[in-house]
């Protein structure tokens, strides 16, 4: 009997940890603005992880790379390949931007899946991956949109806006609408997939024993990485499109 009660209590604690609180946030007042505190906290953790990794990567580079250096060089080469494939030969200046987007989203998604954020109790809301907040994904999408316009204007000047009337001025409203829907699409694609993955795990934990949701959680790690790759690839493709012309 005691064993059964212990097992029930253990499963109840695991269920509480896996729960998702929707619409509840811990707010901070910063300079007259109301911000989501839990998003800032988890974003700072992700940024700290990236900064520490960067410091380790450049601390003592070797001519013959070690295992750790090999890993960081592989990540850099992967990001360069994505940028070059989508942007073209002028990809060099955009590698830091594309790399920042990919690594921030990747580490954010994995931190939400691997770190036990929900063990830390907050007065309101809960800690989760930064990309689990629509404001974060909108900010990343708007940064991509700014980079998209900057790339086109820096390459073509005011002639960049000529693409809106190609191949015919009749398409002007559609071409303008296309540029406004790109950040919207990026934001909702990333936010929707991350939130859906968490909700699937919560539903499975509530319906079946914990043994079944665990493989789904590992699958979530894979899909989280894919979402980071999709976002970075689309961002690079948009930048390449603005530099080359309207397609």
Q: In whole angstroms, give the CA distance from residue 48 to residue 37.
A: 17
Span 82-94, pLDDT tens digits: 999 988 888 888 9
> What is the arithmetic mean of pLDDT over 42-59?
88
Residues facing residue 161 across a β-bridge: none
Least confident of 48-62, 85-99, 157-171, 206-220: 206-220
* Contact assessment for residue 131 and residue 105, using Cβ atoms and an 8 Å cutoff: yes
Rounded mean pLDDT of the chain?
Answer: 76
> What is the arithmetic mean of pLDDT over 237-245?
81
* Contact assessment for residue 44 and residue 132, using Cβ atoms and an 8 Å cutoff: no
> What is the arithmetic mean of pLDDT over 156-162?
79
> What is the arithmetic mean of pLDDT over 183-189?
75
pLDDT for the residue numbered 170: 81
- Residue reference for tokens 């253990």: 10
Return the higher-pLDDT residue of 246 and 84: 84
Non-local CB neighbours of 56 within 8 Å, separated by 6+ positions: 68, 72
Q: In whole angstroms, give the CA distance from residue 163 to residue 35.
A: 38
CB atoms near residue 244 (< 10 Å)? 15
Three state DSSP letters for the chain? CHHHHHHHHHHHHHHHHHCCCCCCCCEEEECCEEEEHHHHHHHHHHHHHHHHHHHHHHHCCCCCCCHHHHHHHHHHHHHHHHHHHHHCCCCHHHHHHHHHHHHHHHHHHHHHHHCCHHHCCCCCCCCCCHHHCHHHHHHHHHHHHHHHHHHHHHHHHHHHHHHHHCCCHHHHHHHHHHHHHHHHHHHHHHHHHHHHHHHHHHHHHHHCCCCCHHHHHHHHHHHHHHHHHHHHHHHHHHHHHHHHCCC
The yes-or-no verdict on residue 128 having pLDDT over 80 is no
* Domain boundaries, given as residue ranges, for the chain: 37-119+126-243
Confidence bin at 9 (pLDDT 50/70/90): low
> What is the arithmetic mean of pLDDT over 159-163?
77
pLDDT for the residue numbered 195: 67
pLDDT for the residue numbered 207: 67
CB atoms near residue 85 (< 10 Å)? 13
The yes-or-no verdict on residue 16 having pLDDT over 90 is no
Return the higher-pLDDT residue of 21 and 26: 26
The yes-or-no verdict on residue 17 having pLDDT over 70 is no
Residue 195 vs residues 16, 20, 43, 133: alpha-carbon distances, Å? 17, 9, 17, 9
């Amino acid at each position: 009997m005691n064993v059964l009660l212990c097992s029930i209590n253990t499963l109840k604690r695991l269920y509480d940890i896996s729960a998702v609180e929707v619409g509840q946030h811990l707010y901070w007042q910063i300079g007259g603005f109301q911000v989501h505190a839990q998003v800032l906290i988890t974003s700072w953790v992700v940024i700290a992880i990236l900064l520490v990794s960067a410091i380790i990567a450049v601390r003592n580079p070797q001519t013959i790379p070690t295992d750790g250096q090999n890993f960081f060089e592989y990540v850099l080469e992967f990001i360069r390949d994505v940028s070059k494939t989508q942007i073209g030969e002028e990809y060099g200046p955009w590698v830091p931007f594309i790399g920042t987007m990919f690594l921030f989203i990747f580490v954010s998604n994995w931190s939400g899946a691997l770190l036990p954020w929900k063990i830390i109790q907050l007065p309101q809301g809960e800690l989760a991956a930064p990309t689990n907040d629509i404001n974060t994904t909108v900010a990343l999408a708007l940064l991509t949109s700014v980079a998209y316009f900057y790339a086109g204007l820096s390459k073509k000047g005011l002639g960049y806006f000529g693409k809106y009337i190609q191949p015919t001025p009749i398409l002007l409203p559609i071409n303008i609408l296309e540029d406004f829907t790109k950040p919207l699409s990026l934001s909702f694609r990333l936010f929707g997939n991350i939130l859906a993955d968490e909700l699937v795990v919560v539903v499975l934990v509530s319906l079946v024993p914990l043994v079944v949701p665990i493989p789904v959680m590992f699958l979530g790690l894979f899909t989280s990485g894919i979402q980071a790759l999709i976002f970075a690839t689309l961002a690079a493709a948009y930048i390449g499109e603005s530099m080359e012309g309207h397609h």
